[in-house]
Copies of this chain bind each other. A is one copy, B any other.
Amino acid sequence: MRATTLHAPGDIRVTEVPDPTLGAPTDAIIKVTAGCICGSDLWPYRGENPITAGNTIGHECIGIVEEVGSEVTSFAPGDFVIVPFCHCDNTCAHCRAGVQSACVNLGMTQSGQGEYALVGQAEGSLVKLDGRPDASLVPSLLALSDVMPTGWHAAVAAGVPEGGTVVVVGDGAVGLCGVLAASVMGAEKVIVMSRHESRQKIATEFGATHIVAARGKEGAAEVKELTDGIGADAVLECVGTDQSMGTAFAVARPGSTVGFVGVPHGVEPPLGRMFQKNVGLRGGMAPVRRYLPELLDLVVSGRINPGLVFDSTLPLDQVAEGYRAMDERRSIKVMLDLEA
């Protein structure tokens, strides 16, 4: 099959690789109809994470079940499914506690930017639709494989209170989904820290009530002013750098929590401030499967449209241009149309 492979920093290609095969009775193979590029794919692309040259990349996709292992009973070839980027059996103690991203049988989608993806723990991970979705729903359904549940998780971890004030640090696709989550959860004031006009526009469509373009101390001061000097009731840290984490804590009111979902790179949480101000930190990899039923309902009913984060759609052949566009921040998030 044709799939996206990474060969060296910046060297992303579509190459012919062996079709995935069922390696365990709990596996499934999905014919990918749409995949996408994740912000976290940019770390290995930029050479900041170690790679194995020639390996496939990509963990976000939706598609049609092609083949299932003998222990997969709820799904059959032809089913249209959302594929959570992290796989779980949905039965272990951690899954039952709602932390499917720490499942004892945790796995991750392989070759999600290829013609066929391999999914482990298919029974516990996949979520099926009734028939093929309308084309207009495809971007939002694809967003459910990772970016929307991740933004949602930031909001859950931060404990967004109904009627409260929320700050979202980061205007990437995850941050924008965090804005949407906070808005759906009933936050009255949703402040997004964003300098990019195209992202500000989507943030506003997603329910942001205030935009702060300034960064660092100046940005934090603006937020403080917007919150009567008190700070935010909940803060969503959707970047993962030390600077963004610092900003998150600077705008969090005493007693609140910073929900973090950006994979941390070189972050040192300001423990002294956390102690002094009683500001908590919680989050991590999103338990996608936990949120999927609720989020799927919201998408299918038209209440949310997270697919707006895709500002570019490319055929698989042009995936390299997709990586370049996201790396250079010309694009927020790129969808790959495998049926194009």
Contact = CB atoms under 8 A, between A and B. Distances in A.
A324 B255 CA distance: 36
A253 B157 contact: no
Nearest to A282: B280
Contacts of A157: 278, 280
A298 interface: no
Contacts of A280: 157, 257, 280-283
A8 interface: no
Nearest to A261: B275
A1 interface: no
B281 A263 contact: no
Contacts of A282: 257, 274, 278-282
A259 B102 CA distance: 20
Contacts of A253: 93-94, 97
B264 A272 contact: yes
**Which residue of A93, A263, A282 has the most chain B CB atoms within 10 A of its CB atom?**
A282
A335 to B, nearest CB: 26
Given A254-B97, A254-B102, A255-B102, A278 B271 contact: no
A284 interface: yes
Contact of A94 (B254, B260, B269, B285): B254
Interface of A: 93-94, 97-99, 101-102, 157, 228, 230, 253-255, 257, 260, 263-264, 267-269, 271-272, 274-285, 287
18 contacts: A94-B253, A94-B255, A101-B278, A102-B255, A102-B277, A102-B278, A257-B280, A264-B272, A269-B269, A269-B271, A274-B281, A274-B284, A275-B285, A276-B284, A276-B285, A278-B285, A280-B282, A280-B283
